[in-house]
Amino acid sequence: MSETSLSYELSRSPEGAQPDPELQHLLEASWTERHDAGVGFRYRLHIERERVAEGKFGFLILLNRKRLTERRQPYAFLLDAPFDAARFNFTRIDPVEIQLELGGHFPTSILINNSPVTVYHSLVVPDRQGQHSQMLTPAGIRVPFELLLRLPDRRYRVGYNSPGAQASVNHLHLHLLRIDTDLYVQQTELIPVRGYIPLLHRLPDHLPAQGYCFVVRDPIRDLEPVCTGLGTLITALMERKMAHNLFWTWTHLRDGREIRAFVFPRAKQCVNKVACSFNAAFLELSGFVSVGEVSDYEQLTEDIIVQALRDAQGDVYGTLGDLFGTDGSN
């Protein structure tokens, strides 16, 4: 296997963000080559069982026992923790874990996730040598859109966990992964939020998670203001020391149509990510639940999952009432 990293140039303009089969081929071929050879991965991905929970929201539940037992153990850090070069970070990885280097305005490394949840599960690390803590930068906000716009397969999604919201490494990274099933957030109703952040929507009260959403329908028109709005919202959350999870997804897996970027704030931080069977992070908040225990797989119900998500988030709309009103739609 070659240790020379592949490269791909990302143009900055929305006009250049067209689906490119070559980018998808590079990502998938480099992931598959390493996975099949057992190079860099802690285990060979094997989803033992899969089901959709009965109920209104269609939670997808997968059993992946090896991720529970063989993944790298997370370490504890809070929202404002600075980057610590003495602890594990992505400048210290084996070079064989680097799938692709993205050039252009936002240099970004694509790494294998050596404890994958799904096929083609990779880590997206903007400015890897810059040694940023796990707080979103402008590049961290923009690159997910750039990737989803360029990957022809609309089943790809991007997610992010902040410190205090189940992040396990304090070095800026996001997750790129392919999910073949529709999730409840993709086409749920969105409620416009009036206020100082343009283009902002929130989720209806009856959904499992409380959160906000930006929509990109026309990249030429929407991409810049949406990225600005996301940055403004995240800054507001940071000022209140509110941890948060993000999820970028297409609404329609066949023909795309629009990208939704969800922000799930948390009224309370969790101190660290415990390597347990079921964590409430960006995937779970969006409708995808990967568990490592057979008993959890067999016994989890929609009601149990919804309660776990609500306990993890707390009263988000009440906490942000001074910004958006107590119902989140001032």
> Which tens digits make up the pLDDT trace of 49-106?
999 999 999 999 999 988 776 666 666 777 888 999 999 999 999 999 999 999 988 9
CB proximity list for 252: less than 8 A, separation 6 or greater: 154, 186, 187
Region 232-248 average pLDDT: 96
Q: Is residue 327 part of a domain?
A: no
What token pair was written down for 21? 């089969």
Decide if 64 contacts 117 (C-beta within 8 A). Answer: yes
Between 77 and 130, whose confidence is greater?
130
Q: Is residue 241 predicted with pLDDT exceeding 60? A: yes
**Which tokens sit at 122?**
């990779």
Q: Assess contact for 193 and 202: CB atoms under 8 A.
A: yes
Residue with the bigger pLDDT between 73 and 189: it is: 189
Token digits of residue 176: 């790129």
Residue 26 falls within a domain, yes or no?
yes
CATH of the domain at 256: 3.30.428.70
User: 325 lies in a domain?
Assistant: no
* Residue 2 domain-assigned (yes or no): no
Are the beta carbons of 161 and 265 closer than 8 angstroms?
no
Q: Count other C-beta atoms under 10 Å from residue 34's C-beta.
A: 19
Q: Binning pLDDT at 50, 70 and 90, where does residue 210 land?
A: very high
Question: Is the distance from CB of 199 to CB of 226 less than 8 angstroms?
Answer: yes
- Which position has the token pair 């050596």? 114
The encoded tokens of residue 47 equal 């989803």
pLDDT at 211: 98
Distance (Å, whole) CA 144 – CA 141: 7
318 CB-near residues (< 8 Å, 6+ apart) = 267, 326
What pLDDT sits at residue 116?
A: 95
Contact 57, 143 (CB under 8 A): no
Most confidently modeled range among 7-11, 51-55, 78-82, 279-283: 51-55
* Nearest in space to 219 (alpha carbons), one of 22, 13, 10: 13
Exposure string (b/e) for 287-298, b if CB count within 10 Å is 16 or more? bbbbbbeeebbe
Cα–Cα distance list, 274 to 77, 95, 203, 300 (Å): 12, 28, 28, 19
pLDDT-above-70 percentage for the chain: 91
**For range 197-208, the mean pLDDT:** 95
CA angle, corner 303, sides to 65 and 54, nearest 5? 75
pLDDT at 196: 86
Residues 4-22 as b/e (b if ≥16 CB within 10 A, e otherwise) read: eeeebebeeebeebeebee
Beta-strand relationship, 60-63 and 288-291: parallel
| pLDDT at residue number 275 | 44
Is the pTM higher than 0.75?
yes
Q: How many Å apart are CA 149 and CA 154, to the nearest integer?
A: 9
For the segment 118-137, the average pLDDT, to the nearest whole number, is 96
Q: What is the mean pLDDT of the chain?
A: 91
Note the pLDDT of residue 329: 53
Number of domains forming the structure of the chain: 1
Q: Is residue 330 part of a domain?
A: no
Quick check: 277 pLDDT over 90?
no
- 326 lies in some domain: no
In whole angstroms, what is the distance from residue 51 CA to residue 177 CA?
A: 19
Torsions phi, psi for 289 (to 5 deg): -125, 115
* Pairing verdict, β 174-178 and 156-161: antiparallel
Residue 283 lies in a domain: yes
Q: Closest Cα partner for 116 from 56, 32, 230?
A: 32
Instruction: Using CA atoms of 258, 260, 261, 264 in order, give the dihedral in degrees to the nearest 10.
Output: 180
Residue 36 lies in a domain: yes
139 close to 146: Cβ distance less than 8 angstroms: no
**Residues of the domain holding 215:** 7-320
pLDDT in tens, 220-233: 999 999 999 999 99
Least confident of 14-23, 165-174, 301-310: 14-23
| Choice among 11-20, 102-111, 184-193 with the minimum mean pLDDT | 11-20
